Structure 1
């Protein structure tokens, strides 16, 4: 989730009148370019604004937004750092830095920023919700459940929080609780595609492939061509051994969103099922490079290495999976690496 803030300053920071006027003009031009998604121009205008006032925290923040939107999260973090150095209470920059840290897989740093904001805004449903997202990336599911519950106490109609809470119940094998939250969510909003998507994953885990397919198709009826839903339908087809249907959906998912690490994982599983172990390793490593939260990635990577007669690498992968609380990796390492 992106926390993007574009503000034209209301208070004037002391500087020479000529430079002050130029600073504000370049800043507004940067905002205009940002709204048009012309990120290179936005960065250039914010830089000109900063040349006229090097202590203009808002320009650093907005330049960070332009940079992260343009695929440069590390440079964005540097801008947010500078904005916060100038104004330690700049909450918008702290939100944005947490998102940037999340983008590059620095979840501990993201959590540190969110905890600061939680202490500042203890009654913000969104802060607790976002903390739950970060805790999910850290695989601290009990704490994530607690954060989503707190968020829902403050805003019971947050559908994203409801679905994410159900997802964590699913991850912790509390399937009845997960189903209850999803059904109550669908009662409130019968067109919540994310709820159908998660419900499909529950059916998939129970090997009820027909209902898994029905519910993921319902999600796609609501949001056609959604890459994550297409990828998940591909996973259902994999379980049904409809490999042609699986590959078609997974390839379309990657075409629509090349950054979707889950799709690379599932394409790796397709090649694993075909006994094409080297290609499976390549695709699973592609998924790993994207620094996204992916369940059971290392358990499957280890399985692909084992199939490619690289047992040492297989055991290393399963060891990493165990460190990330992958239950399947624990079973694989006991079976193959003792």
Structure 2
């Protein structure tokens, strides 16, 4: 049900499963995710807390509790949960990615770069990993490194409109108007809303 986006239907199903077996960690974790998707953060927190209380050696409740904290901009508790999840599942790319996002929010850019790079090492086929590492490199003035990462993001996903847009803007700032405008046009073709205005400003003369 959750795969189809029916989180309310999933909640009904999971409530019954947990009623029958209150110590079902997987069901508690899944119900927490459904509550998180429905923005019912307090209920999600209770589910993840209970799942962890029943089994503190599985990474998913920590990972999802971290996502729940991050959704409420509670960066430090989210960081603690993602760090615990990393200890339990050190080969899971998404945990490093999500922790990298938290480090970025905390302006801890070297740590964010390290986590995004680890995520890419574990899964080099995710455009978001490259994009976020590129954004982080911009914050430390590594413009060429950022351009390389944005380029990678659109190679991995040729329909990643935001990647074309950001790459195009950075190329324009680097005095590469031809490539910059080409990438802005591609972003516009893919439906990125801000591309049209950028084309009007930078690519009409």
Question: Structure 1-normalised TM-score?
Answer: 0.51
Does 1:143 find its partner at 2:114?
Answer: no
Q: Which residue number corresponds to residue 197 of structure 1?
A: 165
Quick one: higher RCO (CA 8 Å, sep 6+), 1 or 2? 2
Cα shift at 1:145: 1.0
Match for residue 68 of structure 1 among 36, 57, 61 = 36
Distance in 1 (alpha carbons) for counterparts of 2:107 and 2:147: 21
Q: Which residue number corresponds to residue 59 of structure 1?
A: 27
Q: Where do 1:57-206 residues align within 5 Å?
A: 57-186=25-154, 190-203=158-171
Cα shift at 1:160: 2.4
Rate the CA distance shift 1:125–1:56 in 2: closer, same or farther, 3 A: closer
Rate the CA distance shift 1:150–1:50 in 2: closer, same or farther, 3 A: closer
* Higher alpha-carbon deviation: 123-132 or 80-89: 123-132
Distance in 1 (alpha carbons) for counterparts of 2:118 and 2:101: 13
CA contact (8 A) 2:66 2:77 kept: yes
Match for residue 6 of structure 2 among 32, 35, 38 = 38
Rate the CA distance shift 1:89–1:201 in 2: closer, same or farther, 3 A: farther
Rate the CA distance shift 1:78–1:201 in 2: closer, same or farther, 3 A: farther
Cα shift at 1:181: 2.7
Q: Deviations over 1:54-80 (max 9, x none)?
A: 222222212112212222123212211
CA contact (8 A) 2:165 2:195 kept: no
Q: Which residue number corresponds to residue 195 of structure 2?
A: 233
Q: Could you list the runs of 4 or more consecutive aligned residues of structure 1 that deviate by over 6 angstroms after TM superposition?
A: 207-211
- Give unmatched runs, 5+ long, in structure 1: 1-31, 242-338
Rate the CA distance shift 1:110–1:204 in 2: closer, same or farther, 3 A: farther
Rate the CA distance shift 1:129–1:37 in 2: closer, same or farther, 3 A: closer
Superposition RMSD on alpha carbons, in Å?
3.0
The aligned length equals 202
Cα shift at 1:190: 4.6
Q: Deviations over 1:100-148 (max 9, x none)?
A: 1111111211111111122223333333223222212222222111212
